[in-house]
Amino acid sequence: MERSLSMEVVRVTEAAALASARWMGRGEKEEADNAATEAMRTVFDTIPMNGRVVIGEGERDEAPMLYIGEELGNDRENGPSVDIAVDPVEGTNIVAEGSWNALAVVAIADRGKMLHAPDMYMQKIAVGPEAVGKIDIDASVTDNLKAVAEAKGKDVEDVVAVVLNRPRHQEIIDEIRAAGARIKLIPEGDVAGAINTAFDHTGVDILFGEGGAPEGVLAAVGLKCLGGELQGRLMPKNDEQIARCHKMGIEDVNKVLTMDDLCGGDDAIFAATGITDGELLKGVQFKGNKATTETIVMRAKSGTVRFIDGKHSLKQKPNLVFTD
């Protein structure tokens, strides 16, 4: 994988965030997602690579662009062969409501190294670097809280767990409270929730719960770059979903998926641009004929983590797609 791809994908997530941010708070989540998807696809066409979408907007008959299996890039002969996972808007309802932590996200890995995660729920547990090797998805919530507290040199009462605010998580929430730990309930966006565990200033220590499997892979790539850990287990609900797992090469649907299962190899790139404000990234701000963005881009092989403040001219670019 070429180093230059790190900066190329920044342009991709910036374009998606700028396009989607126009829809913040307007109650139109589909429009926000469509705008981001079109912008992201347009910029991908300018990148010298041989890319293939393994996690995208759906199957070919479900999505007009960024569908699973779509080829991206403008150098199929000599460009690096990579697999690509995208979420043009991680948190469509967040954008529609003008809430916190919506992101435009892209992850890239060498061809064949990223799990082709089916669109279903995945049980997840995620932590930052200090607690790597200390968590166990099969252990109790309480035991995992104690393990993270010990690893980070704090009391359980000072640990903060992030959980999607869903009825299916009530038992997890009850156990966290019984253990004496604190909770940050989020409406959407468990990619941001997982990534935040690797940064002290976000105040988050561990993520629990069931969320989308594609988002689990995206989060795992981000944590791979940060030296963190995510464990997952697919949660198919019926025979059709089990068959879908088998079709995508996942024979044992009950297997605990480790970091190597989710994103193998020694290299990966993760980029995310804030659409709305969050603990980690500021959202897009429009200021006259300019806009500002904040992006994080990381590469696993080098361990490099960059925060990039972008300033963009809006003159004569009504679709907010930037290919400079």
E strand intervals along 226-275: 229-234, 268-274
- Provide the sign of the torsion angle of the four alpha carbons 30, 47, 117, 200, taken in this order: negative
- Provide the sign of the torsion angle of the four alpha carbons 167, 169, 173, 179, taken in this order: positive
Residue pair 188/157 in contact (Cβ under 8 Å)? The answer is no
Phi-psi region of 209 (alpha: psi -120 to 50; beta: other; left: phi over 0): left
Q: Say if residue 14 carries a ligand binding annotation.
A: no
Q: Say if residue 87 carries a ligand binding annotation.
A: yes
Residue pair 300/266 in contact (Cβ under 8 Å)? The answer is yes
Q: List residues bridging with 234 in a β-sheet.
A: 122
Q: Say if residue 215 carries a ligand binding annotation.
A: yes
Q: Output the six-digit token pair for 243.
A: 């068959």
Q: List residues bridging with 290 in a β-sheet.
A: 287, 313
Q: How far apart (Å, rounded) are the C-alpha atoms in residues 260 and 156?
A: 29
Q: Which helix (H) or strand (E) holds 194?
A: helix 190-196
Residue pair 164/270 in contact (Cβ under 8 Å)? The answer is no
Q: Say if residue 261 carries a ligand binding annotation.
A: no
Binding residues: 33, 57, 87, 90, 215
List binding-site positions for Mn(2+).
Answer: 33, 57, 87, 90, 215
